[in-house]
Amino acid sequence: MFTIEHEFDSTVITLVDENGTPLNEDVTINSFAECVTVEQYDPRTDSVQKITLSHLQVRDLAAALDLPEGVYRLVGED
């Protein structure tokens, strides 16, 4: 399950783990004009872990999910 919300300065996607036990914490993705952040609460440290990706990194990640092992460079369409 996931939710999509449009905030003033970002789009927020929350991924909810509904599959099996133990369940993982929700993942929150914030898409801003300049970057994308991915956050998840870590109960071991009682803190939220955050990574920041550029939009190009997100594009590459999305493409990588459907490709076999290898090294790739995406080229823009002209």
Cα–Cα distance between 5 and 11 in angstroms, integer? 6
Would the pTM count as exceeding 0.85? no
Q: Decide if pLDDT at 7 tops 80.
A: yes
78 falls in which pLDDT band (50, 70, 90)?
low
Neighbours of 26 (CB within 10 A): 15
Q: Which pLDDT score, from 0 to 100, does residue 47 have?
A: 98
pLDDT digits (tens, 9 = 90+) for 38-72: 999 999 999 999 999 999 999 999 999 888 889 98
Q: What are phi and psi of 6, to 5 degrees?
A: -105, 115
Alpha-carbon gap, residue 74 to 62, rounded angstroms: 11
The span from the CA of 10 to the CA of 69, in Å, is: 33
- Rounded-to-integer distance, Cα 54 and Cα 32, Å: 10
